[in-house]
A and B are shown apart, each in its own frame.
Chain A
Amino acid sequence: MTAAQIRFLTLVRREVTRFLKIKRQTLGAPLLETFLYISVFGAALGSRIDKLHGVDYVVFIIPGLLMMAWAINAFANNSSSILQQKFQRAIDDQLSSPASPLELLLAFSLGGFLRGLIVATITFCAAALLVDIPVEHVLVLVPSLFLVGFFFAQLGVLVGVRAEQFDDVSFYQTFLLTPLIFLGGVFYSAQLLPEPFQTLTYFDPVYYMIGLVRYGFLGYSDTSVELSLLFLTAAALALFAINFRLFARGYRLRA
């Protein structure tokens, strides 16, 4: 193994170790939260709701819940890990090492991405034991989930780098991310909404992400799969490019 490979793996290992050390908070809590959503909206309320687009309500919401779990965990992990390390100045150990801006960015990104992947995978496996979840288009589903994870991992990095206090991180999560995800159609089909809410939903980028994931699982989507994939790829790459520029400049990382 080369020195560069050892360095990169160590940077990633540090990020993974961090969330595994506080797994009750980083893995346990999101798993419980997702199961509460499935129980309340799926089992309790769902039994009184007719099928949506030909599937049971609980099955209809699971793709959105999995996407939401991956997105929120990828975002929360990276934003809080970077801010916490900046706060303690422990990040100086990585910044004064020979690691390049690209290595640092990829390692920080992977931390949240992997946490989201773990939460989403466990949730999927456990939900599959309770409900029959179809997977209609695996070749759309896997890249879509990976792109969603990558996008929110980048968003977490961006917010973590810009943040100067913990309030900054919670502000984005509470007032931007959560509303966008909830109003993006995790729990309902946008086609059921009255105007102007239906039209407004089309301006929510998360709506297209949920559409992609739902198409992968159920074979049904309100949105154009090709356009959504294109949009998501472009948005993820744009965020990555912005973050790379910030890391290369040392923005709010190096004096």
Chain B
Amino acid sequence: MAAALEIADLVKRYPTGTEALKGVSLEIGAGEFFGLLGPNGAGKSTLIHCTTGLAQPTTGEIRVFGHDAVHHYAEARLAVGLAPQDLNLDWFLTLEETLDYHGGYFGMPRKERRERSAELLDAFSLTAKRHDRTRTLSGGMKRRLILARALMHRPRLLILDEPTAGVDVELRLELWHYVQRINAEGTTILLTTHYLEEAERLCDRIAFINGGQIVAQGSSAELAAKYRVASLEDAYLELVGRKELSRAHIAGEAA
């Protein structure tokens, strides 16, 4: 079976000259829950944008379930659902229309769109708001709607770009529970997050990206072992060169 996502020697150079990705290679197996961690500006979002067609790679290959995501993208994009970091909802649309149009863009027939949007609105406790315009929603509700929209066309690869940034504890737990369930049902998930406990709890494997390059990957324990530290958090602090912030270091200084 083809890997869910295969990236080979991916380079992204912006017109300004900034090289956001410097030959990234990565493989995510079908059914995996994969975490991508790195500091701001490391290249996480650029990698996601290249995979989903929002950015055009300079060189390199991206395959989604074996389909070329750059040159013959239609099949690849059908397989991907993106919940972006930004709350990029159309203010003019209601919640129901947001899901309905998204389904339409992915070629879903009307009856299927209606059933699927009702199911997702219910799953994310948004049914009562379905006729409201998106701009009237709270931040947490917008976040839920964005996740529902990403799931609308039943993608086999779900990309979550910092899905829990700025959400309250209940919603975070609710989202964790939901994505764990759909992962158990077979959906491959690529998650970027700044919350290390989130990555540790949810992900089978994690990659560290820094300066546009994948610098390490493995399970949480493997990453800790690679950096010869006790936890994923300490491994991450080693990566970003801030080991003085490690809990063990601070505790030692306090003692």
Chain A interface (Cβ within 8 Å of chain B)? 1-4, 6-7, 9-11, 13-14, 17-18, 21-22, 85, 88-90, 92-100, 250, 254-255
Contacts and interface: CB of A to CB of B under 8 A. Distances in A.
Nearest to A94: B105
A13 B109 CA distance: 14
A85 B46 CA distance: 20
B101 A10 contact: yes
A253 to B, nearest CB: 9
Contacts of B82: 92, 96
Contact of A93 (B55, B75, B105): B105
B105 A7 contact: yes
Interface string B29-70: 000000000000000001001001111100000000000000
Interface stretch (B85-93, B187-195, B213-221): B85-93
B106 interface: yes
A90 B88 contact: yes
A255 B20 CA distance: 11
Nearest to B88: A89
Contact of B77 (A4, A11, A96): A96
A90 B149 CA distance: 12
Given A3-B107, A6-B109, A93 B102 contact: yes
B14 interface: yes
A38 B149 CA distance: 47
A88 B105 contact: no
Contacts of B46: 255
28 contacts: A1-B109, A2-B107, A3-B106, A6-B104, A10-B101, A10-B104, A14-B101, A17-B92, A18-B92, A22-B92, A88-B90, A89-B84, A90-B89, A90-B90, A92-B82, A92-B84, A93-B105, A95-B54, A96-B53, A96-B77, A96-B82, A97-B77, A98-B75, A98-B106, A250-B56, A254-B56, A255-B14, A255-B49
A17 B100 CA distance: 13
Contacts of A21: 92
A1 B149 CA distance: 23
Contacts of A11: 104-105
